[in-house]
């Protein structure tokens, strides 16, 4: 028993170490620019002892209320069979409103808006964090200023180029590097606090409240910069499926939170003694001999932070594909052992182009800070709204208790959001634009898919009555098995009708196969395939996946042998329908959105590669659909 407990503790410690590298990279690099932005940004707060203590108090209590209480204590309870993140939260919320079309639509729109904000954040994080690390070069040697942007772009290019290799190879280094990073944050903080221990007054929330009350004009501007200290909080929830909630909580309370607080307080202590350090308080905390090693370590930490955000974008896109919000894209699996380690070339290089535009357009973290906050706060507000819904329905709290709790979080987050709305002209428009574009594409794809499905099912024939008609005058049957892929296996697939019309034959065994994706992360193998035997050697198959499963139709068909239906892949032909879409006016979606949907449909990846069907066994038959 004792041995098992020791093993379990070691496993938890290893997971907590891994979580440090993946989960806390983003929030862990916030000290690079938060205090700098508050007191030396585009809209600086006057550098007085009262303001320094007030800001430190606001940062501390933002970390406690938003990260520790909201995310770590409550949001991480909203897990979908162990999985977290915006897509898991949408699936959980939708599960409670099945049959209520109006509520389903509202939740879906809120979720898609949250996903859009997530991508907006994913664009800004790599630019902001890597640029923030390399701005230390200016502190070390002002003559190096012209090299900051080229060096940032080079590091970002190498980062995105390396994505196709996966994180498994370098992932083992992430934890130890971040242990060193957080340890360094804590030590730098302690050394500077020792010179001015008066900063510990900021532990009291009174100083933060006094600052907000006495500086009503400045308060909103200040909150727009304070929010930078909690960027990355959503990663705690999004990566829950990889590590489990316990290691994430242990790493946060045991190491990350104390290190962050010590560093922020250390920067405050430095500014109390040396107001000249305001141009970059983080790097001015370090002795001169330590500057270059610190810049190197900070760059590594920001690369790790960026890596986590990019991996998150891949993961969310893959889940969105399964749930029908995104067209089929090329997915490459980068690890044979670790489930969920994927690489999407289209998403990767799209993000890279957006990040390059940001770096070249904004040129410094001061300018980028305006772009950063709004995506993060937008995502946080939507997460709170969806989580309140889940708490009321799934947890059985009821609306009164749920609203009472989440109203506290929303009061803080809406203040942050309002503060960032003021920064829209300074750069906040960029993530809003990126998020709105993602929202438009996702909602268009979902609605367009529904329209195509409605048109095709409206014209389709019921499968069992069609088989009865065939049995009266059965066409010629040839050896082998035919698989007809369709979205609704209760109806006759268009491809089957076309095949009969042109070839006038059927295989001796006919499988009508549809894929159903459930609002759970994974479906066990034992439940993967449901088989219904019909007349005339026809079979209806439903292949079932969770939104994080990897679809593989040949593998699913190989499981049929256990249910008395052995399938020889060498004697099986797959028939797929390929629709040509024709947009029309007044059919449920604006004409320009229909044209956008048609464009996305034409450029979507093939079902053949998405479902891992051998290309030499596929027959595609075309049809026209007016939407």
Mean pLDDT of 14-37: 84
pLDDT of residue 425: 83
Give 19's contacts (C-beta < 8 A, 6+ positions apart). 175, 239, 242, 243, 247, 248, 251
Nearest to 171 by CA among 359, 299, 14: 14
Q: Is the pLDDT of residue 302 over 80?
A: yes
Among left, alpha and beta (phi > 0; psi -120 to 50; other), residue 329 is beta
pLDDT of residue 336: 55
CB-CB contact of 163 with 343 (8 Å): yes
Mean pLDDT of 581-598: 81
Q: What is the pTM of this model?
A: 0.81
Element (H, E) at 458: helix 429-459
Give 8's contacts (C-beta < 8 A, 6+ positions apart). none
Among left, alpha and beta (phi > 0; psi -120 to 50; other), residue 84 is beta
CB-CB contact of 231 with 26 (8 Å): yes
Least confident span in 194-203, 366-375, 548-557, 608-617: 366-375
519 vs 609, residue with greater confidence = 609
Q: pLDDT band for 341, please (50, 70, 90 cuts).
A: low
Domains of the chain in sequence order: 2-427 (1.20.1740), 454-626 (no CATH)
Q: Is the pLDDT of residue 177 over 60?
A: yes
Q: What is the mean pLDDT of the chain?
A: 85
Q: Is the pLDDT of residue 2 over 50?
A: no
Mean pLDDT of 440-457: 84
Q: Positive or negative CA dihedral for 16, 20, 24, 28?
A: positive
Q: Is the pLDDT of residue 338 over 60?
A: no
Buried b (16+ CB within 10 A) or exposed e, 338-369: eebbbbbeebbeebbebbbebbeebebbbbbb
CB-CB contact of 85 with 383 (8 Å): no
Mean pLDDT of 290-305: 90
Q: pLDDT band for 7, please (50, 70, 90 cuts).
A: low
403 vs 455, residue with greater confidence = 403
Give 25's contacts (C-beta < 8 A, 6+ positions apart). 174, 178, 232, 235, 301, 302, 304, 305, 306, 307, 308
CA 347 to chain centre: 12
pLDDT of residue 3: 46
Q: pLDDT band for 4, please (50, 70, 90 cuts).
A: very low
CA 618 to chain centre: 34
313 vs 239, residue with greater confidence = 313
CB-CB contact of 26 with 260 (8 Å): no
Mean pLDDT of 571-594: 81
Q: Is the pLDDT of residue 479 over 60?
A: yes
Round to whole Å and give the CA distance between 624 and 627. Answer: 10
Mean pLDDT of 398-412: 90
Q: Percentage of the chain surpassing pLDDT 90?
A: 25
90 vs 149, residue with greater confidence = 149
**Max CA-CA distance within the chain?**
95
Least confident span in 36-50, 90-104, 585-599: 90-104
Q: Which two tokens stand for residue 91?
A: 């699936």
pLDDT of residue 172: 65
Round to whole Å and give the CA distance between 93 and 387. Answer: 8
Element (H, E) at 120: helix 101-134
Mean pLDDT of 281-310: 89
Round to whole Å and give the CA distance between 115 and 110. Answer: 9
Round to whole Å and give the CA distance between 591 and 583. Answer: 7
Q: Is the pLDDT of residue 481 over 50?
A: yes
Mean pLDDT of 285-301: 91
Question: Interior CA angle at 193 toward 192 and 198, to 5°?
Answer: 140
CB-CB contact of 215 with 408 (8 Å): no
pLDDT tens, position by position, 112-160: 888 888 888 788 888 888 888 888 888 888 888 888 899 999 999 998 8
384, exposed or middle or buried, with CB in 10 Å at 0-12, 13-18, 19+? buried
């Amino acid at each position: 028993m004792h041995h098992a407990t020791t093993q379990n503790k070691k496993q938890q410690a290893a997971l907590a170490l891994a979580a440090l590298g993946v989960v806390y990279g983003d929030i862990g690099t916030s000290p690079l620019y938060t205090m700098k932005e508050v007191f030396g940004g585009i809209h600086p707060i006057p550098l007085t002892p009262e303001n320094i203590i007030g800001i430190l108090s606001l940062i501390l209590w933002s970390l406690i209320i938003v990260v520790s209480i909201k995310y770590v204590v409550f949001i991480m309870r909203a897990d979908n069979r162990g999985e977290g993140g915006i897509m898991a939260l949408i699936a959980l919320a939708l599960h409670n409103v099945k049959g209520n079309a109006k509520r389903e639509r509202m939740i879906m729109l809120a979720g898609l808006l949250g996903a859009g904000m997530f991508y907006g954040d994913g664009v800004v994080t790599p630019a902001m964090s890597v640029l923030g690390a390399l701005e230390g070069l200016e502190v070390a040697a002002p003559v190096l200023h012209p090299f900051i942007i080229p060096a940032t772009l080079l590091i970002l290019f190498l980062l995105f180029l390396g994505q196709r290799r996966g994180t498994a190879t370098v992932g083992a280094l992430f934890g130890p590097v971040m242990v060193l990073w957080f340890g360094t944050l804590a030590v730098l903080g302690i050394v500077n606090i020792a010179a001015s221990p008066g900063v510990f007054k900021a532990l009291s929330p009174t100083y933060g409240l006094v600052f907000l009350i006495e500086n009503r004009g400045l308060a909103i501007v200040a909150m727009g910069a304070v929010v930078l200290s909690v960027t990355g909080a959503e990663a705690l929830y999004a990566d829950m499926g990889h590590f489990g909630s316990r290691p994430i909580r242990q790493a946060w309370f045991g190491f990350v939170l104390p290190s962050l607080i010590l560093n922020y307080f250390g920067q405050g202590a430095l500014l109390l003694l040396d107001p000249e350090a305001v141009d970059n308080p983080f790097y001015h905390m370090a002795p001169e001999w330590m500057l270059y090693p610190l810049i190197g370590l900070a760059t590594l930490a920001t690369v790790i932070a960026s890596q986590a955000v990019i991996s998150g974008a891949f993961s969310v896109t893959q889940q969105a594909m399964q749930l029908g919000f995104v067209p089929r894209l090329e997915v490459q699996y980068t690890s044979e052992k670790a489930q969920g380690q994927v690489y999407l070339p289209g998403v990767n290089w799209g993000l890279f182009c957006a990040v390059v535009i940001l770096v070249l357009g904004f040129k410094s973290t001061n300018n980028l800070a305006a772009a950063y906050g709004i995506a993060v706060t937008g995502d946080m507000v939507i997460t709170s709204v969806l989580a309140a819904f889940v708490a009321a329905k799934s947890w059985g709290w009821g609306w009164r208790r749920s609203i009472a709790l989440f109203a506290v979080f929303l009061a803080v987050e809406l203040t942050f959001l309002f503060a960032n709305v003021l920064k829209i002209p300074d750069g906040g428009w960029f993530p809003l634009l990126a998020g709105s574009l993602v929202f438009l594409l996702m909602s268009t794809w979902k609605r367009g898919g529904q329209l195509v499905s409605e048109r095709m099912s409206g014209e389709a024939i019921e499968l069992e009555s069609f088989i009865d008609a065939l049995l009266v005058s059965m066409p010629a049957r040839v050896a082998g098995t035919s698989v007809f892929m369709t979205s609704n296996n209760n109806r006759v697939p268009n491809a089957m009708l076309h095949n009969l019309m042109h070839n006038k034959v059927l295989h001796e065994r006919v499988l009508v196969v549809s894929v159903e994706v459930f609002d759970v992360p994974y479906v066990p193998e034992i439940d993967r395939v449901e088989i219904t035997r019909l007349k005339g050697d026809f079979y209806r198959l439903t292949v079932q996946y969770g939104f994080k499963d990897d679809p593989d139709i040949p593998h699913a068909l190989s499981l049929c042998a256990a249910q008395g239906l052995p399938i020889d892949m060498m004697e099986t032909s797959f028939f797929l329908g390929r629709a040509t879409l024709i947009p029309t006016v007044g059919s449920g979606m604006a004409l320009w959105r229909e044209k956008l949907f048609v464009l996305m449909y034409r450029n979507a990846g093939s079902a053949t590669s998405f479902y891992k069907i051998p290309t030499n066994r596929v027959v595609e038959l075309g049809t026209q659909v007016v939407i």
